Amino acid sequence: MSTTTSTQVAPRTRRPLRLYQIGSHLFISVMLLLSLIPTYLLITWSFKNGLQYRWERWAISFPLRWRNYIAAWDVVGDYMINTIIVAIIGLMGMLLLSLIGGYVFARMDFPFRETLYYAIIALLMVPWVLSFIPAYMVYVRLGLLNTRLAMIIPELAGGPIFGIFLMRAFISGIPEELFESARCDGAGVLDLIGRITLPLSLPGLATLAVLNFIGVWNSFLWPLVMIQDDEKQMIAVGLYKLARSATSGGVPGWTSQDFSVWGPLYAGYVIASLPLVLLFIVLGKFYVEGLVDSGLKV
Amino acid sequence: MTEVTGAAEQSRATDAAVRTLVRSSELSTWQAMRRSWQAYALLAPIFILLIIFNYYPPILGLLRAFYRWRPGVEASFVGLQHFGVYFTSPETGRELLNMFKLLAFFFFSGAVVPFIMAVLIFRIRDTESKELYRLFLIIPMLVPLIVVILLWKQIYDPNLGVINGLLEQVGLGFLALNWLGDTATALYAIMFMGFPWVSGVGTLIYLGGLGQISESIFDACEVDGCTGLRRTLLIDLPLVLGQVRLMTILAVIAGVTSFQTILVLTDGGPGFATMVPGLTMFHKAFRTQQFGYAASIGMILFVITFTATLAVNRTIHPAVEDVRH
């Protein structure tokens, strides 16, 4: 990348330092290019027909086969719509509960406040392997097997655990005078949450929303065991099953019109990545914060 | 941040905040709780959901680890039988060994490599290329995890995979292997996935940590002639120990609990070559309906992660806060 311009910025730079800077630029660029290879292959393969996939594995083949994308959408589209519906319903509830919880713990004083708060935060320490099997049994018992509700509830119930942690810290940073003056005007708790806290905590909520959307989009094992009907299936499991049928036997509707299933399959992978790309373009800063916060959500 | 702020929530009195605070300490807890009914009412829906879906399952799991258990059948107590069966079964040793190998490797790929990358990017002087590098770090993360795994499965494919394709093109075709299908290579192929392991949350977290270090420390460093590797080990590393600890704990948790990648790439095979306890738990529950046995494996994994997390917390002590700004 721009190895030459960089060192001119600092005039006091000495020669070994400049060499060091050039070396770093080179090393970083190589590492980043290597890590981009799978993404590059994914995109180029998505535009190929069977022969091009076989013989022009590394190059971009022209003309680009947009037909792959049409064939892919026929299969992947429903999974994506399912996932988006589940994610949005779950997100709305999760954000509301996180906002309320964050407000209550940050701005209200009541007996056992810290005890209740730590009772929630302690759940962050429970690893999912411990709950996975019994949670499945609980959901089966409640008749939630093979329902969309089984996809929404984990987000709705589990999302606020980290959400309250994040929103409490966020809402604590809002100056008390704002609440004080609103109380003077006779505002009740719900007004304080809806009219003052909500507009001021949008950045925190955006981070939380992105974090949870990525979580739902990537959720795999839970829908794999909970959802049996293909028409209710979530995107990650949908892609997994699609890849399996593509490698063994073929996908209905693809083999007849195309040389191979590979082009449409990779086109499907690309389509499935687009919501995340879109989210990053629209909410870039919050996307990165959401990613970083996902690390804190141990 | 957690100063007592809104004691006068329902009193709505303009200047009563301080007075209410004083008075509330004189009231009995019960009276104070009655006065705060709004707070409890607001928290009620959250706690109802948490109790059913987040407290109850893990507790149930800990109990049912001692039962024979499957859907639609009354659970029957079997004591420590599941643990006995698990620790005496012939595959268990291999599984645990695989798990510790993965764990050790995830420490390298998840905590060490991102640290090196972050330090290098952090020291780049040109802010524009710094931003560009950050962007390129994020791009691979815009691809869903399942797509990444399925792509790597294709990359390893013995016939159509690009690794064997490349080897043949450079005349090293004799090195071509069925990477995921060979007992000798399968586990290492799983580790190699995601090479060179730089893009990901880790590098971003370390970059955030390095950004918090006060500028004056780096200036003092330069004056004292502490640069390069010395600075990395004596200044950067001690000051991001909090992040190191976090990434180490994440590596431990990933090593012990994440079997999704293995499920998709090899499903534990060939034979039991890439089997890990988490995947056994999954198989026992959803293929042979032994939910009690699976719950007991879940409990073992919980104990391992918990102990390891505590051990990491005891060993790694982040530096004092006043060197940050």
Tell me the percentage of chain A whose pLDDT exceeds 90: 60
pLDDT at A210: 92
**Which amino acid is present at A153?**
I
A217 near A194, Cβ under 8 Å?
no
Q: What average pLDDT is seen over chain B?
A: 86
pLDDT at A15: 61
Neighboring chain A residues of B71 at a CB cutoff of 8 Å = 137, 140
Residues A111 and A28 in one domain: no
Nearest-by-Cβ selection for A25 from B1, B117, B124: B124
Nearest-by-Cβ selection for A276 from B64, B142, B260: B142
What are the residue ranges of CATH 1.10.3720.10 in chain B?
86-323
pLDDT at A187: 84
Residues A117 and A210 in one domain: yes
Residue A86, in any domain of the structure: yes
pLDDT, average across residues B276-302: 94
Residues A174 and A244 in one domain: yes
Distance CA B78, CA B65 (A): 9
Please tell me if residue B310 touches chain A, with a CB cutoff of 8 Å. Answer: no
H/E stretch holding B77 reads: strand B73-77
A208 near A285, Cβ under 8 Å?
no
The per-residue pLDDT for range A77-95, each reduced to its tens digit, is 999 999 999 999 999 999 9
pLDDT band at B6; cut points 50, 70, 90: very low
Higher-confidence residue: B116 or A187? B116
H/E stretch holding B262 reads: helix B260-265
pLDDT for A249 beyond 80: no
Q: What is the ipTM of this complex?
A: 0.89
Higher-confidence residue: B322 or B168? B168
pLDDT band at B22; cut points 50, 70, 90: low
Which alpha helices (H) appear in B27-126, and where do they start and end? Answer: 29-35, 37-50, 56-64, 81-88, 92-107, 113-122
Cis peptide before B277 (omega within 30 of 0): no
The per-residue pLDDT for range B28-49, each reduced to its tens digit, is 888 888 888 889 999 999 999 9
B247 near B114, Cβ under 8 Å?
yes
Distance CA A218, CA B193 (A): 17
Q: Nearest C-alpha of chain A: how many angstroms from B137?
A: 7
The per-residue pLDDT for range A145-173, each reduced to its tens digit, is 999 999 999 999 999 999 999 999 999 99
pLDDT at A256: 55
Query: Which of B53, B109, B138 to probe the A interface (max A CBs under 10 A)?
Result: B53
Distance CA B57, CA A269 (A): 34
**Which amino acid is present at B206?**
Y
pLDDT for B87 beyond 70: yes
Distance CA B160, CA B176 (A): 12
Task: Count the neighbouring beta carbons within 10 Å of the beta carbon of residue A148.
Answer: 17
pLDDT, average across residues B65-73: 88
pLDDT for B215 beyond 70: yes
Residues A127 and A26 in one domain: no
CB contact under 8 A, B45 and A34: no
Query: What are A210's two structure tokens?
Result: 């992105």
pLDDT at B8: 40
Neighboring chain B residues of A188 at a CB cutoff of 8 Å = 12
pLDDT at A9: 45
pLDDT at A171: 93
Query: Which of A4, A48, A110 to probe the B interface (max B CBs under 10 A)?
Result: A110
Residues A126 and A206 in one domain: yes
pLDDT at B20: 54
Residue indicated by tokens 């691979």: B140
pLDDT for A30 beyond 60: yes
pLDDT for A201 beyond 80: yes
3-state secondary structure at position B60? helix
pLDDT, average across residues B132-151: 93
Q: Is the dihedral of CA B278, B284, B289, B294 positive or negative?
A: negative
pLDDT at A119: 95
Please tell me if residue B291 touches chain A, with a CB cutoff of 8 Å. Answer: yes
Residues A126 and A261 in one domain: yes
pLDDT at A5: 42
Residue A167, in any domain of the structure: yes
pLDDT at B94: 92
pLDDT for B12 beyond 70: no
3-state secondary structure at position B73? strand
- Please give the residue of chain A at the shortest CA–CA distance from B229: A20
Higher-confidence residue: B12 or B265? B265
Q: What average pLDDT is seen over chain A?
A: 87
pLDDT for B5 beyond 70: no
What's phi and psi for A246, nearest 5 deg? -70, -40
Tell me how many domains chain A contains: 2
Helices (H) and strands (E) in chain B, counts: 19, 2
Residues A173 and A228 in one domain: yes
The per-residue pLDDT for range A42-82, each reduced to its tens digit, is 999 999 887 788 778 888 888 888 888 998 898 899 999 99
Please tell me if residue B12 touches chain A, with a CB cutoff of 8 Å. Answer: yes
* Per-residue DSSP letter, B7: T
Distance CA B325, CA B319 (A): 13
Neighboring chain B residues of A135 at a CB cutoff of 8 Å = 53, 57
Higher-confidence residue: B217 or B191? B191
Angle at B4 between CA B3 and CA B10, to 5 degrees: 150
Q: Which domain holds residue A28?
A: 6-40
B117 near B201, Cβ under 8 Å?
no
pLDDT at B319: 65
Please tell me if residue B279 touches chain A, with a CB cutoff of 8 Å. Answer: no
Residue A54, in any domain of the structure: no
pLDDT, average across residues B252-281: 92
pLDDT, average across residues A169-198: 89
Residue A63, in any domain of the structure: no
Neighboring chain B residues of A248 at a CB cutoff of 8 Å = none
Neighboring chain B residues of A184 at a CB cutoff of 8 Å = 14
Q: Dump the DSSP string for chain A.
A: --TTTGGGG-TT--HHHHHHHHHHHHHHHHHHHHHHHHHHHHHHHTT--HHHHHH-SSSPPSS--THHHHHHHHHHHHHHHHHHHHHHHHHHHHHHHHHHHHHHHHH---TTHHHHHHHHHGGGGS-HHHHHHHHHHHHHHTT-TT-THHHHHIIIIIHHHHHHHHHHHHHHTS-HHHHHHHHHTT--HHHIIIIIIHHHTHHHHHHHHHHHHHHHHH--HHHHHH---GGG--HHHHHHHHHHHHHTT--TTTTTTSS-SHHHHHHHHHHHHHHHHHHHHHSHHHHHHHHHHHHH--
Distance CA B199, CA B302 (A): 28
pLDDT for A125 beyond 50: yes
Residues A149 and A246 in one domain: yes
pLDDT at B72: 79
Distances in whole angstroms, Cα of residue B223 to Cα of each of B143, B210, B213, B220: 44, 19, 17, 5
Specify whether domain B86-323 bears CATH 1.20.1250.20. no
Residues A27 and A73 in one domain: no
pLDDT band at B235; cut points 50, 70, 90: confident
Query: Which of A3, A26, A108, A129 to probe the B interface (max B CBs under 10 A)?
Result: A129
Q: Nearest C-alpha of chain A: how many angstroms from B211?
A: 14
pLDDT, average across residues B240-268: 91
pLDDT, average across residues B277-300: 94
Residues 6+ apart with CB under 8 A from B274: B98, B186, B187, B190, B262, B265, B266, B268
Characterize A218-243 residue by residue with b for buried, 16 or more Cβ atoms within 10 angstroms of its Cβ, and e for exposed.
bbbbbbbbbbeeeebbbbbbbbbbbb
pLDDT at B311: 93
pLDDT band at B9; cut points 50, 70, 90: very low
Residues A92 and A14 in one domain: no
Distances in whole angstroms, Cα of residue A298 to Cα of each of A40, A122, B203: 31, 11, 17
Task: Count the neighbouring beta carbons within 10 Å of the beta carbon of residue B281.
Answer: 27
pLDDT band at A293; cut points 50, 70, 90: confident
pLDDT at B27: 63
- Please give the residue of chain A at the shortest CA–CA distance from B39: A104
- Please give the residue of chain A at the shortest CA–CA distance from B277: A129
Please tell me if residue B8 touches chain A, with a CB cutoff of 8 Å. Answer: yes
Residues 6+ apart with CB under 8 A from B99: B255, B256, B276, B277, B278
Residues A157 and A226 in one domain: yes
Residue indicated by tokens 């690794």: B163
Phi-psi group of B269: left, alpha or beta (phi > 0 → left; psi -120 to 50 → alpha; rest → beta): beta
Distance CA B285, CA B274 (A): 19
Residue A123, in any domain of the structure: yes
Higher-confidence residue: B325 or B71? B71
CB contact under 8 A, A2 and B129: yes
Distance CA B120, CA B137 (A): 13
Mean pLDDT lowest among A162-176, B2-16, B286-300: B2-16
Phi-psi group of A104: left, alpha or beta (phi > 0 → left; psi -120 to 50 → alpha; rest → beta): alpha
Residue A185, domain CATH: 1.10.3720.10
pLDDT band at A257; cut points 50, 70, 90: low
pLDDT, average across residues B265-277: 91
Q: Nearest C-alpha of chain A: how many angstroms from B97?
A: 19
pLDDT, average across residues A118-127: 91
pLDDT at A3: 41
Q: Nearest C-alpha of chain A: how many angstroms from B111?
A: 12
Mean pLDDT lowest among A4-8, A133-137, A184-188, B231-235: A4-8
Beta bridge pairs of residue B67: B77
Mean pLDDT lowest among A268-272, B115-119, B169-173, B263-267: B169-173
Distance CA A266, CA B162 (A): 15
Tell me the percentage of chain A whose pLDDT exceeds 70: 91
- Please give the residue of chain A at the shortest CA–CA distance from B164: A57
pLDDT at B233: 86
pLDDT for B104 beyond 80: yes
* Per-residue DSSP letter, B276: -
Distances in whole angstroms, Cα of residue A277 to Cα of each of A69, A95, A280, B111, B144: 17, 22, 5, 26, 10
Residues 6+ apart with CB under 8 A from B283: B268
pLDDT at B120: 92
pLDDT, average across residues B171-189: 89
pLDDT for B138 beyond 50: yes
Nearest-by-Cβ selection for B152 from A27, A38, A218: A38
Neighboring chain A residues of B305 at a CB cutoff of 8 Å = 127, 129
pLDDT at B33: 82
3-state secondary structure at position B41? helix
Query: Which residues of chain B from 21 to 60 reach within 8 Å of chain A, CB to CB?
Result: 21, 24, 29, 32-33, 35-36, 38-40, 42-43, 45-47, 49-50, 52-58, 60
Distance CA A209, CA A275 (A): 13
